[in-house]
Amino acid sequence: MTSPADHHAVLRLLDANLDRAREGLRVVEDWCRFGLDRADLVATLKDLRQRLGLLHQERYKQARHTAGDVAAGMAHPAQAQRQKPAAVVAANCARVQEALRVLEEFGRDQDPALAAEAAAIRYALYDLEVEVLRAGADLRARLQACNLYLVTSPSPQLEAVVAAALEGGVRLVQYRAKEGSLAPDGQPITDALRLQQAQALRQLCSRYGALFVVNDRIDLALAVDADGVHLGQGDLPPALARRLLGPEKLIGRSTHAISQLREAVADGCDYVGVGPVNATPTKPGREPVGLDYVRQAAAESPIPFFAIGGIEPANLAAVQAAGGTRVAVVRAITEAADPAAASRALLNLLN
């Protein structure tokens, strides 16, 4: 039989660890909300927090006695070292996991439902922590993990197509609406519409944890807090783009010869497009560079390169044989009957 004193101590312990777990989940949830713009992670963390809240019984709260807690206000020097969001997230995930373990151990006899829920949430949080930390990782590290790059083209179904591609696994999207592009009403696209579309795609990409860059327009990239910008050979120089965007953002550049790739590397670009490999209506009048340039890039490029230009499942194997492990596509996804299925098919081939 548990003594009355032990019983009361267990109630206090359960209350303290329920508070600790819920507070830690809220810290991580708010980072996902305000730092990562990840509605999906926010929803998951909120659900975990609410599930614990439902089991935070009144009898636990009534047993609370903060003034009599010998460890109240006790700090540790390691807390002062958490200066980066990733460190704060990791520390709070550990805090929650430890609290859940305490709830699981001491709740088995006192509150089996709480013990079971604590165990389930603890195991769920192991994977969730990895996803949150990965989402907040350096943009260049996330770029390294991307091997399929969707470049958009003007379309009345732009948002739906991109959403489907993201659902299919695409994690790098470029918004591209060149001068002369037409809006859904058939009129020349305006900057107001470009801003509206870029904002919508930015939010979509954030929801899926995907990188989002803007073609050419540094002003638009800044306006929607894009992850970077993609520059053509005739656009502003990368050095100026870097000065405007800052050191953290991604800068990509289209290249059509090995000399341009070398220049992009020297200019501090984070990735390059290599192509067009095949003739494509996206680049009318530009001669395809073929697979020789892909081979050169594979042998020499120290930064990620994406082969681009008329690439589709039927000719992807030849690109891969030339050393192209990453590809950028437009029509292979945007003109597919099922963009999600097309994205999955390409990713399966690339993987």
Judge whether 176 counts as a catalytic residue: yes
Judge whether 26 counts as a catalytic residue: no
Please give the Cα distance from 239 to 71 (Å, whole number): 53
Count CB atoms within 10 A of the CB of residue 181: 13
Return the SS3 of 351.
Answer: coil
Please give the Cα distance from 60 to 272 (Å, whole number): 58
* Burial 309-337, CB ≥16 within 10 A → b, else e: bbbbeeebeebbebbbebbbbbbbbbebe
- Catalytic residue, candidates 254, 301, 326, 343: 254
Strands 228-231 and 250-255: parallel
Judge whether 171 counts as a catalytic residue: no
Which tokens in the block code for residue 339?
């963009």
| Strand partners for 148 | 327
- Catalytic residue, candidates 26, 95, 283, 295: 283
Residue given tokens 């470029």 in the structure block = 174
**Residue 179 φ/ψ, nearest 5 degrees:** -60, 135
- Catalytic residue, candidates 49, 171, 176, 217: 176
Q: Which residues are catalytic?
A: 176, 254, 283
